[in-house]
């Protein structure tokens, strides 16, 4: 993996999690890393989907220690239902960028599309969480933050299994929606196919 896209610019990596979930927020993280990274950082930081939960937690701690700055932006299910998931994803990314105290000169974002932010140059990188440390770090922080949030909501609504499925459409989750209905945390626009079946 590479440290940066532009070595001579202040660069921020962006990634999101939770786009395909039936409940809960979409969450994005923005991470600015130093030009030099520790070997420990390099050994553990990779695409969040490739790490176990324990390794993600360990990686998250190391990222927070080494990053120049990081922020995490949430957009809740009600907004997702109002404006659609793509716009909500961009909104969560912009929210995380808005919280930065350090003004980046370049944005690298995971995926193939992004909604322009201010007048800052950006580059979309398909599978960027496998190519750049700052995007991988953002994917880990977003994933850990969202997972912890969904575990908290699980105590409020244990029948939906959010502690394990994190709001994704597992069989347990879908069956609970059919049996119990939906909660205030569900994305109603995502449930039409389930409720009509």
Is residue 183 included in any domain, yes or no? yes
Tokens of 67: 């990053």
* Alpha-carbon gap, residue 107 to 135, rounded angstroms: 10
What pLDDT is recorded for position 91? 98
| 81 pLDDT above the threshold of 90 | yes
Is residue 100 included in any domain, yes or no? yes
What is the total count of domains within the chain? 1
Q: Structural domain of residue 24, as residue ranges?
A: 11-196
Is residue 117 included in any domain, yes or no? yes
Report pTM: 0.96
What pLDDT is recorded for position 107? 98
- 103: Cβ contacts below 8 Å, ≥ 6 apart: 10
Is residue 58 included in any domain, yes or no? yes
Tokens of 169: 């459409």
What pLDDT is recorded for position 197? 56
What pLDDT is recorded for position 128? 95
CATH of the domain at 21: 3.30.420.10
* Three-state SS sequence of the chain: CECCCCCCCCEEEEEEECCCCCECCEEEEEEECCCCCCHHHHHHCCCHHHCCHHHHHHHHHHHHHHCCEEEEEEECHHHHHHHCHHHHHHHHHHHHHHCCCCCCCEEEEECCCCCCCCCCEEEEECCHHHCEHHHHHHHHHHHHHHHHHHHHHHHHCHHHCHHHHCCCCCHHHHHHHHHHCCCCCECHHHCHHHHHC
Is residue 1 included in any domain, yes or no? no
Is residue 6 included in any domain, yes or no? no
* Alpha-carbon gap, residue 45 to 132, rounded angstroms: 10
pLDDT in tens, 139-194: 999 999 999 999 999 999 999 999 999 999 999 999 999 999 999 999 999 998 88
Q: Is 116 exposed, middle or buried (0-12, 13-18, 19+ CB in 10 A)?
A: exposed
């Amino acid at each position: 993996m590479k440290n940066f896209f532009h070595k001579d610019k202040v660069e921020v990596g962006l990634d999101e999690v939770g786009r395909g979930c039936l409940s809960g927020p979409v969450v994005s993280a923005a991470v600015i890393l130093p030009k030099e990274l520790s070997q420990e950082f390099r050994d553990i930081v990779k695409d969040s989907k490739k790490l176990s939960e324990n390794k993600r937690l360990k990686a998250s701690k190391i990222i927070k220690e080494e990053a120049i700055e990081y922020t995490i932006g949430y957009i809740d299910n009600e907004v997702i239902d109002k404006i659609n998931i793509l716009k909500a994803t961009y909104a969560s990314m912009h929210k995380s960028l808005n919280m930065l105290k350090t003004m980046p000169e370049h944005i690298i974002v995971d995926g193939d599309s992004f909604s322009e932010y201010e007048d800052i140059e950006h580059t979309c990188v398909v599978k960027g969480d496998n190519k750049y440390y700052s995007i991988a770090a953002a994917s880990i922080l977003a994933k850990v933050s969202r997972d912890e949030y969904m575990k908290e909501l699980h105590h409020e609504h244990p029948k939906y299994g959010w502690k394990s499925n994190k709001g994704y459409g597992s069989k347990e989750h879908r069956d609970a929606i059919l049996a119990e209905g939906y909660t205030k945390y569900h994305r109603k626009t995502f449930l039409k196919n389930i409720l009509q079946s």
